[in-house]
Structure 1
Amino acid sequence: MLNLVLFGPPGAGKGTQSAKLIDKYDLHHISTGDMFRAHIKDQTELGKQVSQIIADGNLVPDSVTIAMLEEEINNNPDAKGFIFDGFPRTVAQAEALDAFMESNNMPISGVIALDVDETELTQRIAKRQEISGRADDAADKLKKRIEEYFGKTIHVLPYYEGKGKLTKVNGIGEIESIFSELTSIIDRY
């Protein structure tokens, strides 16, 4: 079973590359952002609970996020593997994900971090916001999300590096070139 964590700041290309990796490896995509947006759109209890937190650019509490992920994994017992997009965002989340996956004999195969500088991120997200109108891409929210990533989330990388599971990839360039590099790394897993 192939289980990947695709890591990077907002706008690094995780969603774009995830879609291509899902097609190639037949993985089940788990994006906490997509799950939160779906719950908010459907106005579920979870959606109501996290709507304001996300709108303010803050992270949803670990307990809520982890429970939701475990439910999603358990609801897909026939999956050939999973790709985690936008999760984990803290070392505590990484530890909880590892413990859950290992307890189910589905350890994380590898973690790939897309490296993109802040100037490029800002340009990409501004363009995405024009197209999609996503509320979390608005300039004020974006700044907070990028600060959150570089202030807190990036600390997950040394955790996985210490486990020998981290590979960094330059996330700036042609989509196909980046994808080719990702697949060459994944094929070694």
Structure 2
Amino acid sequence: MKKERLGFNISIMGIITSGKDTQVKLFRDKYNLQPVETGLYTRNLLKEKSKNGDWARRAASKGGALPVVLMKEFISKEIKNKPKNKDLVFVGGPWLKPEAQLVVKLMRENNKKYFVVYITLPKKEIYRRSLKRKQDETVKDVYKVLDEEKIIKQRIKVYENQISKTIKYFDNLNILKKINGNQSIEKVHQDIEKALDYFKKLNKK
């Protein structure tokens, strides 16, 4: 059976531990979306024994985002190699404003519509989920490194100082919908579905 297509590209973003990866999995199969996994790319770089891997680890040890030049290179390649019969879903990115501007620019150049869903979460819940994940023995070591309490604080600081500018940029373009992540997976899913329905209406204009 032929799957429904969104007809536009999206980002499903969120603060750390907001459940964005879970939501992407739920929507990916339904709409036959091609994932652009910035988080997976980052995690692979953290394990890579290379100059870029060292660069990424230095940034992560300070709670920072991946160097912009590396992420821009990755995003450009993913957009250019997109299958013609699929729409893209950016998993957890673009995080920094220069990356976001690049995505918007490339979408416009290719005459493609693009929208963003952002999952919010209170600081208290971020700490609770992060510490719980750290204690879970089934979680990979690379996650545990990222979830050390000191690093959690730094990542929240990066969000407040830098990533919030990206969210504001998307908001000013009227392509953003914020979703309350402090509720059940099912309810978050329903709210994102409503946001996608709203975007579908905008896409027809």
The residue number in structure 1 matching 2:135 is: 130
The code of the aligned residue for 2:68 comes to D
Q: Distance in 2 between matches of 1:59 and 1:39?
A: 12
Say whether the 8 Å CA contact 2:116–2:176 is kept in structure 1: yes
Match of 1:183 among 190, 193, 197: 193
- Identity of paired residues, percent? 25
The code of the aligned residue for 2:24 comes to S
The residue number in structure 2 matching 1:142 is: 152
1:67-107, CA deviations, whole angstroms, 9 ceiling, x for partnerless residues? 11111233333451111123222222211111122212333
The residue number in structure 2 matching 1:112 is: 117
TM-aligned CA deviation for residue 169 of structure 1:
1.2
Say whether the 8 Å CA contact 2:12–2:24 is kept in structure 1: yes
Give the SS at the match of 2:182. Answer: coil
Structure 2, gaps ≥5 residues long: 1-6, 201-205
TM-aligned CA deviation for residue 178 of structure 1:
0.8
Match of 2:18 among 12, 17, 24: 12
Instruction: Report how many residues are paired.
Output: 188
2:174 aligned with 1:169:
no
TM-score (norm. length: structure 2): 0.83
Q: Distance in 2 between matches of 1:69 and 1:79?
A: 19
Cα 1:89–1:124, aligned 2, differ >3 Å: closer, same or farther? same
Give the SS at the match of 1:187. Answer: helix
TM-aligned CA deviation for residue 35 of structure 1:
0.5
The residue number in structure 2 matching 1:52 is: 58
Cα 1:186–1:45, aligned 2, differ >3 Å: closer, same or farther? same
Structure 1, gaps ≥5 residues long: none
The residue number in structure 1 matching 2:88 is: 82
TM-aligned CA deviation for residue 162 of structure 1:
1.6
The code of the aligned residue for 1:164 comes to N
TM-aligned CA deviation for residue 44 of structure 1:
4.7
4+ long deviations beyond 6 Å: none
TM-score (norm. length: structure 1): 0.89
Greater radius of gyration (CA):
2
